[in-house]
Amino acid sequence: MAGGPAPPYNQGMITELGHFALILASAVAIVQMIVPLIGAQKRWPGWMAVAEPAAGAQFALTALSFGALMWAFINSDFSLKLVVENSHSAKPMLYKISGTWGNHEGSMLLWVLILTLFGAMAAWFGGNLPPSLRARVLSVQSAIAVAFFAFIIFTSNPFLRLETPPFDGRDLNPLLQDPGLAFHPPFLYLGYVGLSMAFSFAVAALIEGRVDAAWGRWVRPWTLAAWIFLTIGIALGSWWAYYELGWGGFWFWDPVENASFMPWLLAAALLHSAIVVEKRESLKSWTILLAILAFGFSLIGTFIVRSGLLTSVHAFANDPERGVFILAIMAFFMGGALILFTLRAGTMEAKGVFGLVSRESALVVNNLLLAVACFVVFVGTMWPLLAEMFFDRKLSVGPPFFNAAFTPFMVLLGLILPVGSVLPWKRARIARAVRPLRYAFVLALAVGGLAWTMQSGRSLLGPMGLFLGAWLVAGVVVELAQRTGRGAGRWARLRRLPRADWGKAVAHAGLGVTMAGIAGLTAWTQDDIRVAQIGQPWDVGGYTLTLNEVNEIRGPNYQSTQADVTLSRDGSVISQLKPEKRFYPVARMPTTEAAIDYNLARDVYVVIGDQQDNGGWTVRVYVKPLTNWIWIGCGLMALGGLLSLSDRRFRVAAGARKTRATPVPAE
Amino acid sequence: MKRLVLILMLLASPLAAVQPDEMLEDPALEARARELSRGLRCLVCRNESIDESNASLARDLRILLRERLQAGDTDAEAVDFIVQRYGEYVLLRPEVTGANWLLWGAGPLMLLIAGGVGFVYLRGRSRATQTGETPLSPEEEARLREILKD
């Protein structure tokens, strides 16, 4: 191409390489699906060994393909249809990069990239697995990859070219041009797809016909990693909705949100039941079933988002052909796994014996509550569809239903959690086990009671949430105190606790903090809507606000109406807030950018509206107590997961070189 | 260019949620209207209530609701009035009638079933004696110990 430096000509090659790498990766996936499986069946080591290099090659090729697509977005290669439809040359670089996955085709490519990444990690770090189990796990993982490669290549190819490239693109949906949302999908996908490892382990164990304590330990780090990513992904999405959608809601029970929440609930259940498999060799078939269902809900999530069957804010794709394809993938993997399960589950006898009151039983109750809660969300999400199909009723199932039907399970879970977590394994005496918790209970009652007397209404929501929060956090403190005993060496013993125990403590406390935050925000939000005149102050919930000025400003790819609002309390200025109303001319979409004054006790949330005939501006102000606790709690849960993941027992299980064993207090 | 942008802005400008001009003078009545509109769905939106929605249809519904309340309707009458015109699709909280019993009953029913199965399982475990599954071979036992060793 001697013609000149025009980018499209130089990039053509890279794009075609990406396309080619994608097809090659799918060919490798087919080999990896078949050869190791036969090898494991026939006990041929050579055939089984194919899995490892194949998993690496599959990942490398998919990464190359994804990299080529990202390259096209970064360089605004408008010969690619996808780039034209989702990018613009004036878009900030961050959103050019995130635009790679801010659309259907690109996000599916990211999906398989993560799928192959997990496969490759299982190949690289799975040295400690029995060769036949490893071969089967990688083969099942690759079968999933084959299905999704076919889906991408035949229905959603990101590398389609245009004959005549236009001068510029049509820009990314402005709602997606936001740092919170730029990284929300990758985390969610890491979570969704991470559960594919649990699925592959479950199916491989079913084919193998054996589940033992070691299996429980192998499957747990993968589930834990998936759960951590889901936690972060959901929190990012919820935080984004909170500040971006303009009225400070953080959770809408939208089908797409539910689609990410259901796998999270089941992954949480799976984490806990895998502990029982590992430590007590019980609950095996249930754990296998959970592993299958957890990934099943990830597929349902993908289906809901990608098919647009249950339309919602997030659905980019509204193409029935794609929906049917994913439905077929789902039917194949779920149907196959469940048939295998019914054939083989009977052979997995439980070994451990335990009393009705024991840690095992508590974990069973945990699983019951999480699974039934997930079921409620599932029924609520699908009900509008079912009611229309079978009862000819066109109806909505909105937040009031979920708040009423789902919340009781979480309240129950919060109530029993501290008790269950201090019960000893095998057989416990309830009175003796819970006695130390009485301090935590009294403290929690006091906190709840205080909230009750300080609030103006008669709603139980806020006090109940604070009670649960205090109960969970204080329960954790009591448990740590119990574990480390009395006397001088306590701090040293506390420091020597296994990371997994710290992880448990931090994650449980995080759940409490999140519950308190949700209750506080929901119960005690105050709002005010008015036409504000420039320079005239007004009061909301103890704060004074003044609208100083409203300006038109110009951003890189948008126009903005920006207000300047002074927030003060008792005469002293707290902050200057600049809420905006933006308009993206290329995408022809307006967005609201709320201005928020954050702190631990409350958020003050200001939104600017339209100018009125009398020259004033519509201004909305919300005072939202405890809001940030929601995300701090999510952060703690994710941190707890990370601490647990870094426990050396998992590293040993994951195949790291054996390190010098240091004595740890037995659980 | 700037004028074009301004025209586009006017065309696309959202009527953000509840507007000051819609609000009723009487704070008690307005509070009732806000509460009720949180349970009514914006017909052209996705799982958003008319209280939150920016759509102009939602604004029409908000105004209609307030008119009914001003005319002296009770909460139930005002909501019924809207349901009669727009169908039960506007209710974000599905009524507990007919097939919807399945929806509302699904959770409690499942909890009962799961609780029953769980209890039977737990009782079985607490009465069982140590039953072996296929015993592991000595090498496998050794390997398992190796892996599980802390």
Same domain, residue pair B101 and B67: no
Which positions in chain A touch B103 (Cβ < 8 Å)? 379-380, 383, 387, 397, 401
Of A420, A455, A453, A414, which Cα lies nearest the Cα of A434? A420
Residue B11 is predicted with a pLDDT of: 40
Which positions in chain A touch B14 (Cβ < 8 Å)? 590, 592
Per the domain annotation, does B106 fall within a domain? Answer: yes
Instruction: List pLDDT tens digits, range A601-660.
Output: 999 999 998 888 888 898 999 999 999 999 999 999 999 999 999 887 665 544 444 333
Instruction: List pLDDT tens digits, range A545-572.
Output: 999 999 999 988 889 999 999 999 988 9
Tell me: pLDDT of B3 over 50. no
Same domain, residue pair B86 and B112: no
Residue A344 is predicted with a pLDDT of: 86
Interface of A with B in 275-334 (CB under 8 A): 282, 311-313
A vs B: CB pairs below 8 A: 183
Same domain, residue pair B50 and B103: no
Of A562, A563, A542, A543, which Cα lies nearest the Cα of A553? A562
Nearest neighbour of A217 by CB, restricted to B12, B102, B148: B148
Per-residue pLDDT band for A466 (boundaries 50, 70, 90) equals: very high
**Higher-scoring residue by pLDDT: B24, B102:** B102
Instruction: List pLDDT tens digits, range A390-424.
Output: 888 888 898 999 999 999 999 999 999 999 998 88
Domain span at residue B118 reads: 97-124
CB contact (8 A) between residue A590 and residue B125: no
Instruction: List pLDDT tens digits, range A54-113.
Output: 999 999 999 999 999 999 999 888 888 888 888 888 888 888 898 898 888 998 999 999
Quick one: which H or E segment has residue A596? strand A595-598
Same domain, residue pair B22 and B76: yes
Nearest neighbour of B103 by CB, restricted to A212, A379, A620: A379
Instruction: List pLDDT tens digits, range A638-655.
Output: 999 999 998 876 655 444
CB contact (8 A) between residue A396 and residue B16: no
Q: Is residue A44 within 8 angstroms of chain B, CB to CB?
A: no
pTM for the model: 0.88
Tell me: pLDDT of A204 over 70. yes
Which positions in chain A touch B132 (Cβ < 8 Å)? 349, 351
Assigned token pair, A370? 């999480």
CB contact (8 A) between residue B19 and residue A609: yes
CB contact (8 A) between residue B99 and residue A610: no
Nearest neighbour of A353 by CB, restricted to B129, B144, B149: B129
Per the domain annotation, does B113 fall within a domain? Answer: yes
Same domain, residue pair B29 and B69: yes
Name the range with the highest mean pLDDT among A196-200, A451-455, A485-489. Answer: A196-200
Per-residue pLDDT band for B4 (boundaries 50, 70, 90) equals: very low
**Higher-scoring residue by pLDDT: A314, A215:** A215
Q: What is the CA radius of gyration of chain A?
A: 27
Instruction: List pLDDT tens digits, range A498-531.
Output: 888 999 999 999 999 999 999 999 899 888 888 8
Region label for A538, one of left (φ > 0), alpha (ψ between -120 and 50) or beta (otherwise): beta
Nearest neighbour of B106 by CB, restricted to A128, A379, A618: A379
Per the domain annotation, does B52 fall within a domain? Answer: yes
Same domain, residue pair B66 and B23: yes
Distance CA A318, CA A307 (A): 6
Per-residue pLDDT band for A311 (boundaries 50, 70, 90) equals: low
Alpha helices in A212-254 (DSSP H): 213-244
Quick one: which H or E segment has residue A198? helix A184-208
Give the lowest-confidence range in A395-404, B74-83, B138-147: B138-147
Nearest neighbour of B5 by CB, restricted to A398, A559, A649: A559
Q: Is residue A208 within 8 angstroms of chain B, CB to CB?
A: no
Residue A432 is predicted with a pLDDT of: 83
Tell me: pLDDT of A171 over 80. no
Per the domain annotation, does B142 fall within a domain? Answer: no
Q: Which residue of A has its CA nearest to B46?
A: A312
Neighbours of B127 (CB within 10 A): 10
Instruction: Name the average pLDDT for chain A.
Output: 87
Rounded to an integer, the average pLDDT of B26-32 is 86
- How far B50 CA sits from the closest chain A CA (Å)? 12
Assigned token pair, A533? 């005149």
Q: What's the sign of the alpha-carbon dihedral A294, A297, A301, A302?
A: positive
Q: Which residue of A has its CA nearest to B132?
A: A351
Q: How many independent structural domains does chain B possess?
A: 2
Q: Is residue B107 within 8 angstroms of chain A, CB to CB?
A: yes
> Contacts from B47-50 at CB under 8 Å and sequence distance 24+?
B47/A252, B47/A253, B47/A254, B47/A255, B47/A312, B47/A396, B47/A398, B47/A399, B47/B92, B48/A252, B49/A398, B49/A399, B49/B92
Assigned token pair, A160? 């389609």
Q: Is residue A346 within 8 angstroms of chain B, CB to CB?
A: no
Same domain, residue pair B25 and B44: yes
Per-residue pLDDT band for A224 (boundaries 50, 70, 90) equals: very high
CB contact (8 A) between residue A379 and residue B107: yes
Nearest neighbour of B14 by CB, restricted to A249, A406, A590: A590
Rounded to an integer, the average pLDDT of B99-113 is 92
Per-residue pLDDT band for B129 (boundaries 50, 70, 90) equals: low
Tell me: pLDDT of A662 over 50. no
CB contact (8 A) between residue A529 and residue B18: yes
Tell me: pLDDT of A481 over 70. yes
Q: Is residue A497 within 8 angstroms of chain B, CB to CB?
A: no
Same domain, residue pair B101 and B86: no
Q: Is residue B112 within 8 angstroms of chain A, CB to CB?
A: no
What value of ipTM does the predicted structure carry?
0.81
Distance CA A62, CA A109 (A): 8
Residue B124 is predicted with a pLDDT of: 84
Q: Is residue A652 within 8 angstroms of chain B, CB to CB?
A: yes
- How far A113 CA sits from the closest chain B CA (Å)? 31
Per the domain annotation, does B148 fall within a domain? Answer: no
Give the lowest-confidence range in A474-478, B4-8, B92-96: B4-8
Counting beta carbons within 10 angstroms of the beta carbon of residue A392, is it exposed (0 to 12), middle (13 to 18) or buried (19 or more)?
exposed
Distance CA A407, CA A460 (A): 13
Which positions in chain B touch A563 (Cβ < 8 Å)? none
Which positions in chain B touch A583 (Cβ < 8 Å)? 5, 8-9, 12-13
Residue A659 is predicted with a pLDDT of: 39
Distance CA A270, CA A283 (A): 11
Q: Which residue of A has its CA nearest to B118?
A: A364
Per-residue pLDDT band for A667 (boundaries 50, 70, 90) equals: very low
CB contact (8 A) between residue B93 and residue A398: yes
Tell me: pLDDT of A196 over 90. yes
**Higher-scoring residue by pLDDT: A169, A367:** A367
Residue A651 is predicted with a pLDDT of: 59
Same domain, residue pair B37 and B103: no
Nearest neighbour of B88 by CB, restricted to A282, A393, A661: A393
C-alpha torsion A407→A409→A412→A418, nearest 10: -100
Residue B2 is predicted with a pLDDT of: 44
Counting beta carbons within 10 angstroms of the beta carbon of residue B111, is it exposed (0 to 12), middle (13 to 18) or buried (19 or more)?
buried
Tell me: pLDDT of B131 over 60. no
Interface of B with A in 56-75 (CB under 8 A): none
Contacts of A307 (CB under 8 A, 6+ apart): A315, A317, A319, A320, A322, A323, A326, A327
Tell me: pLDDT of A2 over 60. no
**Higher-scoring residue by pLDDT: A224, A591:** A224
Question: What is the CATH number for B54?
Answer: 1.10.8.640
Q: Is residue A205 within 8 angstroms of chain B, CB to CB?
A: no
Same domain, residue pair B18 and B50: yes
Per-residue pLDDT band for A209 (boundaries 50, 70, 90) equals: confident
Q: Is residue B115 within 8 angstroms of chain A, CB to CB?
A: yes
CB contact (8 A) between residue B13 and residue A590: yes
Domain residue ranges of chain A, discontinuous segments joined by +: 1-172, 215-329+352-428, 528-627
Tell me: pLDDT of A21 over 50. yes
Residue A313 is predicted with a pLDDT of: 42
Which positions in chain A touch B130 (Cβ < 8 Å)? 351, 353
Residue A331 is predicted with a pLDDT of: 92
Q: Is residue A85 within 8 angstroms of chain B, CB to CB?
A: no
Tell me: pLDDT of A491 over 70. yes
Give the lowest-confidence range in A183-187, A311-315, A510-514, B65-69: A311-315
Same domain, residue pair B46 and B106: no
Distance CA A68, CA A20 (A): 10
Tell me: pLDDT of A270 over 80. yes
Nearest neighbour of B133 by CB, restricted to A349, A397, A398: A349
Say if CB A188 and CB A174 are below 8 A apart: no
Mutate to test the interface with B, among A529, A552, A557, A581 (most CBs of B within 10 A): A529
